[in-house]
Structure 1
């Protein structure tokens, strides 16, 4: 009996995504949507975040995702198209690595609580930001070990390793490797010695002042206004296997 044809979903627009689709067809993969795919190729940051949220939300099967682009965790476009055949051949297996690629588990955050219209998923980060420019609020950040801190700042951001070199890094946070936890960073804190933390799995963030409205921004999109004195949970909800090239 012949081995079944592997199916691949290619997310993204423009010529780079079109070239990946052509390479997938040449590798005898069947192009399909993400809900039926054995693997996903995400071309560009937006497509990658969309793919990871879809897997966490159940809109896509829990399959490996190949990120293509220029980011820290992405594969260069030419390398991806050249080696796509190896990716297709490795789909469907459970091995941690196969023919030049390894699976690296990346967390996806669930964001839920007061002021959130429904449970949201974040591949990169969840940020709490005062709605009025140049105004501060006060935030309690509670960690899973029972410790908590209170900070006065323009906002606070909780980032996955994927997002730790984005908004969180611009606010002064560390770049975190996969498996290293979540970067938790105050934004423009009202202190000369700001704290920055790496949380193992999640935090609860509470706005402690009512004077200024605070917006919740999930992966760069505003998702409502946070109610004061009521905690918003930001915690790891799922992990998605991203494919990374192994060293030759």
Structure 2
């Protein structure tokens, strides 16, 4: 018997991930690490964020990602198991031709200027939050296509479409469809008429008060304290192809 030529990485530690690995080998795929794969199956929200960041920062090959789970962008596990063979077969096609699935280019954010010289990637969101609960700071939010705005708030969130239904939505921001841009939302703003924005360009956020330390949170993980008066740049550094089923197969 010849060696399987289709190489698949399956990320996730849960029982559905184990089922996806079994389905992949049954469909003739060879299980490998993301850095060697022709496609990635990400089971669960955490695995999806890991997969998207890995493709963006070069730890994985630039390959399609198949999200599995109960999230807005994911395929439910039963459908995924049934359709996995079709998806794997498409990996052999020119540029990946997937019967019953469509590609959605998902943005990955790069965060620069946090003060430690490191560049970080976010699949879902970047948040600025006062380190002391219920304390207000002041932020300048600058867009490349307009005048900067200043807001007094507990924090601010910049979210991709993948993350726009999470912390950003809880803070009152819009849920953005794939390709619709980035959601920018103040957290608990000190105003009776709060604004939020959707932008397709990079964003710069500057902490304009020294009284209260502000933490930088990238995809839910605290990454240090933001220096006052130093702009933190958030830009779309890459896009990753996510696969979603068409109406007929969803």
Give the alignment's TM-score, normalised by structure 2: 0.96
Residue number in structure 1 paired with 2:90: 90
Residue number in structure 2 paired with 1:218: 218
- Alignment coverage as a number of residue pairs: 247
Residue number in structure 1 paired with 2:72: 72
Residue number in structure 2 paired with 1:197: 197
Residue number in structure 2 paired with 1:47: 47
Q: Distance in 1 between matches of 2:97 and 2:183?
A: 27
Runs of 4+ in 1 over 6 A off after TM superposition: none
Q: Is the 8 A contact 1:97 1:103 kept in 2?
A: no
Q: SS of the residue aligned with 1:53? A: helix
1:98: how far off? 2.1
Q: Is the 8 A contact 2:25 2:31 kept in 1?
A: yes
Q: Is the 8 A contact 1:116 1:225 kept in 2?
A: no
Q: Distance in 1 between matches of 2:57 and 2:210?
A: 32
1:166: how far off? 0.2
Output the aligned Cα RMSD: 1.4
Q: Is the 8 A contact 1:117 1:224 kept in 2?
A: no
CA shift digits 1:170-204 (9 cap, x unpaired): 00000000110000000000000111000112200
Q: SS of the residue aligned with 1:98? A: coil
Consecutive unaligned residues of structure 1, counting only runs of 5 or more, are none
Q: Distance in 2 between matches of 1:5 and 1:58?
A: 22
Residues 164 and 130 (structure 1), Cα distance of their counterparts in 2 relative to 1, 3 Å cut: same
CA shift digits 1:63-119 (9 cap, x unpaired): 000000000000000000110001101115455752111111000000110334511
Q: SS of the residue aligned with 2:134? A: coil
**Are 1:22 and 2:14 an aligned pair?**
no
CA shift digits 1:35-86 (9 cap, x unpaired): 0000000000000000000000000000000000000000000000110001
Consecutive unaligned residues of structure 2, counting only runs of 5 or more, are none
Q: Is the 8 A contact 1:96 1:102 kept in 2?
A: no
Residue number in structure 1 paired with 2:187: 187
Q: Is the 8 A contact 1:96 1:103 kept in 2?
A: no
1:247: how far off? 1.5
Give the alignment's TM-score, normalised by structure 1: 0.96
Q: Distance in 1 between matches of 2:147 and 2:48?
A: 33
Q: Distance in 2 between matches of 1:246 and 1:37?
A: 24
Q: SS of the residue aligned with 1:35? A: helix
Residues 82 and 164 (structure 1), Cα distance of their counterparts in 2 relative to 1, 3 Å cut: same
Q: Is the 8 A contact 1:117 1:223 kept in 2?
A: no
Q: Is the 8 A contact 2:111 2:235 kept in 1?
A: yes
Q: SS of the residue aligned with 2:71? A: coil
Q: Is the 8 A contact 2:91 2:97 kept in 1?
A: no
Residue number in structure 2 paired with 1:138: 138
Q: Is the 8 A contact 2:4 2:28 kept in 1?
A: no
